[in-house]
Structure 1
Amino acid sequence: MSIATAPTPARSSLPGTRADLVVVGAGIVGLAHAVEAVRRGLSVTIVERDLRPVGASVRNFGHCCVTAQRGELLDLARRSRTGWLDAAAKAGLWAPEAGALVVARSATELAVLEELRDERGTDAVRMRTRDEVADTLGRAADGRDDLAGGAMLPADLRVNPREAAPKLAAWLAAQPGVHLAWGTNVVGVESGTVHTSRGPVHGDQILLCVGHDLDRLRPAEAEAHGIQRCRLSMARIAAPAGFRSDAAVLTATSMLRYDGFTAMPSAAALREEVSGHSAELLGIGANVMFTRLPDGTVLVGDSHAYDTTEIPFQEEATSRLLLREAARVLGVGPGEVRVTERWQGVYASSPRGPLLVRDLAPGVRALTVTSGIGMTLSFGLAAATFDGALRTTV
């Protein structure tokens, strides 16, 4: 499956361009801000060093993980959901309100889901029997002693990560007052001006939405926030027979990564339980989950490894471990999991928190999601930015 391409810009028209807003970075966070700016009647110039989106925005599961967030992030995720649906209608994106199925394979896992249901309510967390879970996975529950039940999270959304950012960029390019400068490297930023490899671009407001590459443009701010690159082991497989659900599928390792789950009383017991039977999964920072694309293939992942500069190599043992665990959840043999594509995902991460929001100069702001929820928060962050409701981080 190829990534949809974006048109090469009319490069000679870039120098001296002026807009109400200049967005540096055509990843999903930058594009969401551009879409929100257009909705509010602003002119926008988007500057992107590559010729199409190729970073974190196209390498992920395409899962807008709303319900598993907590506190301020939950509010942003809910608002982002509305933004995604609006953008999908405008740009013709595949964005089914398919929800997420969290599979519970033990009483402890089920307890975490029940506690979340008790906190959020039965509309937000809908418990499922083992038979219902098995049916969603495309397998009968008979003979499966590893299913205790599960929960459907209906607020979660799905998008196709291979097409979402390119289609949003194409839609933006067709709007009056929007200019996209692909293949244009930013070399410096100051109030009112973005200096690029093709000349200056002027804007009343400037947003740096460059993700983990903030350290290449503003290294002091990236270092102060402790930004690292998180690399992920990802694969695409042919859908096992019977699996037809558009819902994202999450597991116990997912419950150990998202704040909505980890705040539950049984979360500590769950971590101890998983550590006892699957320490190797915790050792690679696994979030075993999978999502089905519109063509029927399935994205499977992922592991997490952190460094300031990511290494380009992937260990096959990590990939095998993730695929084996996904096969167990699906109730199929390892031989039924046929890999068609592998890649390394990457996103910004920081131990200091999930967001970097920093004003660098009058009218210049850096905004980076420093956790794996950029797709989830993107449109909520954009709305909060323009409302003046997004708090800066120190």
Structure 2
Amino acid sequence: MTSRHSVGGSLGSADLVVVGAGIVGLAHAADAVRRGLSVAVVERDERATGASVRNFGHGCFTAQDGDALRYALAARTSWLRLAAQAGFWLREAGTVVVARADDEYAVLEEFAARRDGHVVLLDRAQVADRVPAGAGVVGGALLPLDVRVDPREAAHAVAAWLASRGVRFHWATTAHTVEPGLVGTSRGAIAAGRVVVAVGHDVDRHFPALAEQAGVRRCALHMLRVADPHGRRVDPAVLTGFSLLRYGGFAACPTLPALRGRLESDHPALAAIGLNLMFTQRPDGDLTIGDTHAYAATLEPFNDEETDRHVLAETARLLGVERLTVRERWRGVYASAPEPFLVAAPEPGVRVVSVTSGVGMTTALGLAPEVLDDLLR
């Protein structure tokens, strides 16, 4: 992206121009406002429609590790503050991990020992008190620090609040060029003191060599909204044994490899679709269920019905019911790479930022301040 050509005249200037109005871009805009900077946000759609609104709305802080855990714990404070300021729905309800086999509970015991005070082990009755679950539950764990938001509301509410604080949003505007001091868009150029490009899995649309070097691919998720079969309020997010294979915090548990081997042996079809069996309850009572994982630089446009059938069958079994009523189906897409975070400086005064591990909602608000500390130094 080196051309200086753009359509239209000048769109003014800003201390920070953010390309992308998903949660990663909004996190940088929010932190820049906190620092007293002028901010402009360029977003190709009329509103955020990507991974930031297609997820579980789960602040899965406790299950992270390394940098992700540091960002997540910082992000928790920011989520609580933003919910109060922007007025969106948030619940400090934690997460319940349901163990349906002894090897799953063994991993939770090891995890609890590693995270002193941040994990509360539960017996079968204590799990049943908190969440609906079918037969075979042996116990579980409560991760009390985790939170939930409504992803269909939260990102839009944050954007509206930022606009009320003076952030200029250029919706339905495509960034054509990014270079030091200038962002060229489909509606004109913006003079930029600094630039953050936060376009998720579309890094390769703007910086293809950088994306190739970082190994960025797209990860497609099958997700569904179903009617709650029990008519019961479920405050926590709910994870399962399959979830233990997906989050970095569990990776150091000594018994995890044996659990992985057992699940892959007993459920090869579910392992093949990368199932993370989990659900959250929406404010209207419906459940968001999923999810699955398929990786490619360019995804096939076709959704396999067999994948949805597996998700529905396993969620029904988890909930102890015969069938579920589907309200909506969708595909989520996020950036994936060997490293969990991509932060790159392709040109002076420019940072490309992508959460390449599927935890953007969980970590972005903690990642952004560190990126801006470096960018503004």
AA in 1 matched with 2:129 = D
User: What is the 5 A alignment of 1:167-206?
Assistant: 167-176=157-166, 178-206=167-195
Contact 1:137 1:330 in 2 (8 A): no
Q: SS in structure 1 opposite 2:357?
A: coil
Aligned to 2:334: 347
Tell me which residue corresponds to 1:135: 129
Q: Check the 8 A contact 1:231/1:345 in 2, yes or no.
A: yes
Alignment partner, residue 376 of structure 1: 362
Question: Are the equivalent residues in 2 in contact too, given 1:284–1:303 (CA < 8 A)?
Answer: yes
Q: How far apart, in 2, do the equivalents of 1:358 and 1:151 lie? A: 37
Distance 1:66 1:156 in 2: 6
Superposition deviation, residue 240 in structure 1: 1.6
Quick one: which amino acid aligns to residue 91 of structure 2?
P
Aligned 1:40-119 pairs, distance under 5 A: 40-119=35-114
Cα 1:165–1:210 shift into 2, 3 Å: same
**Is the contact between residue 137 and residue 242 of structure 1 (CA under 8 Å) also seen in structure 2?**
no
- Residue 249 of structure 1 aligns with an amino acid whose one-letter code is V
- 2:244 is matched with 255
Task: Determine if contact 2:63/2:249 at 8 Å carries over to the other structure.
Answer: yes
Partner SS, residue 353 of structure 1: strand
Map of 1:19-30 to 2, 5 A cutoff?
19-30=14-25
After TM superposition, give the deviation of residue 303 of structure 1 in Å: 0.7
State the TM-score, normalized to the length of structure 1: 0.91
2-structure distance, mates of 1:15, 1:128: 59
Query: Given that residues 32 and 382 in structure 1 are in contact (C-alpha distance below 8 angstroms), is that contact kept between their aligned partners in structure 2?
Result: yes
- Classify 1:110/1:170 alpha carbon distance in 2 versus 1 (closer, same or farther; 3 Å): same
Deviation at 1:243, TM superposition (A): 3.3
* DSSP 3-state at the match of 1:296: coil
1:238 and 2:233 aligned: no
The 8 Å contact of residues 160 and 293 in structure 1, kept in 2 or not, is answered as yes
Tell me whether 1:126 sits opposite 2:116 in the alignment: no
Q: TM-score, normalised by structure 2?
A: 0.95
Q: Is 1:275 matched up with 2:264?
A: yes
- In 2: Cα distance, 1:389 partner to 1:181 partner: 22
In 1, the alpha carbon distance for the partners of 2:9 and 2:359 equals 32
Check whether the contact 2:103–2:259 (CA below 8 A) recurs between aligned residues: yes
| Cα shift at 1:319 | 0.5
State the match for 2:4 in structure 1.
none
Q: Which runs of structure 1 show a deviation greater than 6 angstroms over 4 or more consecutive aligned residues? A: none
Change in CA separation of 1:329 and 1:251 when aligned onto 2, cut-off 3 Å: same
- How many equivalent pairs are there? 370
> Structure 2 CA distance, aligned partners of 1:306 and 1:16?
38
- Alpha carbons of structure 1 residues 282 and 275: separation in structure 2 relative to 1, 3 Å: same
After TM superposition, the structure 1 = structure 2 runs for residues 2-41 of structure 1, keeping only pairs within 5 Å, are 15-41=10-36
8 A Cα contact 1:138 1:244, kept in partner: no
Separation in 2, partners of 1:219, 1:204: 24
Find out whether 1:315 has 2:304 as its counterpart: yes
Corresponding letter in the other structure for 1:345: G
Whole-Å separation in 2 of the counterparts to 1:170 and 1:357: 26
Q: Is the contact between residue 131 and residue 236 of structure 2 (CA under 8 Å) also seen in structure 1?
A: no
Give 1:103 shift: 0.4
Q: Distance in 2 between matches of 1:41 and 1:13?
A: 29
User: 1-side partners of 2:256 and 2:9: how far apart?
Assistant: 52
- How far apart, in 1, do the equivalents of 2:357 and 2:68 lie? 11
Please provide the CA RMSD for this pair.
1.6
Q: In the alignment, is the contact (CA less than 8 A) between 2:194 and 2:375 conserved in 1?
A: no
Sequence identity of aligned pairs in percent? Answer: 52
Q: Partners in 2 of 1:38 and 1:97 — Cα distance?
A: 25
| 3-state SS of paired residue (2:301) | coil
Q: 1:156 to 1:13 in 2, by over 3 A?
A: farther
Task: Assess if the C-alpha contact under 8 Å between 2:96 and 2:131 holds in 1.
Answer: no
Q: State the Cα distance separating 1:15 from its structure 2 match.
A: 2.3
Q: How many angstroms apart in 1 are the aligned matches of 2:229 and 2:23? A: 30
Assess if the C-alpha contact under 8 Å between 1:103 and 1:251 holds in 2.
yes
Report the secondary structure of 2:52's partner residue.
helix
Q: Which SS does the other structure have where 2:218 is aligned?
A: strand
